[in-house]
Structure formats: C-alpha cells, structure tokens
A and B are shown apart, each in its own frame.
Chain A
C-alpha cells in the first residue's frame, strides 16, 4: 500500500503534540515537508510530487473555511495562522499559500531530476532540511 502523506502528517502532528510541541512554525513546516519526503523516499518511480504540484494551485489556502481540506492540512494551517498571528492577515494568507506551492514545486523538481538521473541538487534528506529552513524563514520574516 502506498504511504499516504496526509495520514503520516496527522501522526506526525499527534506525536508533536504528545511531546508538548506542534505550535511552532518550524514544526508545522516540517509536518508538511517530511511526509512528502517520506513518500518520495519509499517510491523511487513516483510522480506524486508532480501531481501534487499540478493540483495544489486548486486549493484555496486563504479561505477562512478550510473545511474542504484534509484534516491534517487543516490542523497545519490553523497552527500556522495561530503561530503567525502578529502578521497582517493578508500577508499571512499570501505567505501560507505560497509556502505550500513552494514546497510541492521543489519536490516536483527533485522528482524530475531523479527520474532523469540528473545528479545535481540536494539529495532528498538535505532537500527536506533545506526546505524546512527556507520556508520557516520565509513565513516568519
């Protein structure tokens, strides 16, 4: 059975909360990134990230009602909105939307390189850490 990143994301968030965490921006970004990386690491031939990059623009992350999203994604978005509440609402909404599209776009690029045996760019683990560092800074700047 193919690993479902949304299931992994829910478990990751549960584990963070059980340890008293889960409310920091970095943790929430990691909850977006790691499950996708986990899926890519287990499925070398997948087009999962490219499909996600094509479909993610159809998601309205800015909606006040995010009920249409997967529950784990809802938790991530509510968490980010709470953690970044000091930002102007419009700025916050734009950044969250862009962050999700950044992440899937970068993983899609990784997938293309892997499929074409191009040996440039970070390996998957380094890419995940790089993305978490960059997106966290991008959201909190």
Chain B
C-alpha cells in the first residue's frame, strides 16, 4: 500500500518533471495525476488543497535543489576566501539558476515559474529562519557586507535584488522560448552582466534625502 507521504511526494516529483519538460501552462492536473498513477481526481485537493498548493510544493522542491547548488558554491567561495564579497554572493544566487536554464528542455519555464513564485518569499525579515539554508547564509553575509548602509535600505535592496534576478532570467527564458534573438548574446554574457549590475545596485551609496528634479510623476500619471 502506498503511504500518504509517498503518494504526495510522487505527485510533486512527477509534477516537477513534467512541468519542467512542457511548461507550467501546458500541463493539466489530469495529466499530472495520470503520470503519478493517481486515479482519484480529488488527490490534489486532499494533498495540496488546490492547484496553487501543488505549484507551491513544486516550487519548494525546486528550491531544495537550488539550495544544494548554492550551498556547494558558497562552500567553494569560502574555501577561496571570497565568502564575504557581495559579488561572490550574487554569483551564488545567479549562477545555479543559469546552470539550470542551460540544461533545461526547450519548453521549460523554470525561471518564469520562479519569477511567479519568488515574491511569496520574504527576504526582508530579520528572522531568516524560514528561508532555505543557503539563502540564509547569503542574506546574512550580504547584511554584514552592506552594514554601512541603513538596515531598511539593505533589506529593501536584497529583496529587490532577488526579484530582479529571477525577473531578468525569466525574460531570457521567454525570449529563448519564442526564438527571439534580443538582449545579451548568450546566457553566460547575461549572467555576468546581471551579476555586475546587481552587485553595483546593492553597493550603491544611500541616496535617501537626495532630491531629484521632481516634476511629480504620480501627479502626471493621474492627469494622463
């Protein structure tokens, strides 16, 4: 007899595989259940509540894999004496996702799925215990490296950086999916440029109090 845990894990595992092969919007719940050898359509409701619950479980599974890749990279960076550098920490965020994209099937929407799910993660909390261990290490190290900036500025930038990264990689994936040859010439060039840019963005001087020429864009938007 299949245990509840095994059946649930099997559904998540199959969903992860076929969503990655075909893309999230190209797979039905019925297909996931059939390939999981689950004959009861209510299995999704029973184990996950609804389709979103299943997608959260798939995202959790993918984060575990990503966590392992980031952990290995962080260990190597520390062995190389680079574990406290902002740039090295951003490499540890970007490169494992880029590796995943490099090896993904043509229809995969790994980065777009990540961009859709990442906003649900709270990178600004003082208590990072709910994050994956590698992300905890990255965020704690970024907070130390950027400690000359006000704490709220650091929190906002770190949170924004994670969403920037998945947003840009999702755009890359979308172009690849549609055969558009726009943007950086390769995934490697994109990754390097993204690392340069996010590192610079995190390390920028705090401009709080800087007065821009402020025509009042919000007012303009209201009038438009």
Contact = CB atoms under 8 A, between A and B. Distances in A.
B164 A134 contact: yes
B193 A30 contact: no
A41 B168 CA distance: 23
Interface string A46-84: 000000011011111110000000000000000000000
Contacts of B119: 108-110, 112-113, 116, 118, 121
A76 B140 CA distance: 37
Interface string A23-59: 0001100110011011101100000000001101111
B116 interface: yes
B118 interface: yes
A141 B196 contact: yes
Interface string B179-193: 010111000011001
A57 B224 contact: no
B100 to A, nearest CB: 17
Interface residues of A, number: 67
B54 to A, nearest CB: 17
Given A21-B213, A109-B119, A4 B224 contact: yes
Given A11-B220, A30-B212, A122-B160, A97 B167 contact: no
Given A7-B224, A109-B119, A98 B157 contact: no
Interface of B: 115-116, 118-120, 122-125, 153, 156-157, 159-161, 163-164, 166-168, 170-172, 174-175, 178, 180, 182-184, 189-190, 193-194, 196-204, 206-208, 212-213, 215, 217-218, 220-224
Give 10 closest A-B pairs by Cβ, nearest first: A105-B167, A38-B221, A34-B217, A134-B201, A141-B200, A137-B204, A15-B215, A138-B197, A120-B122, A109-B119
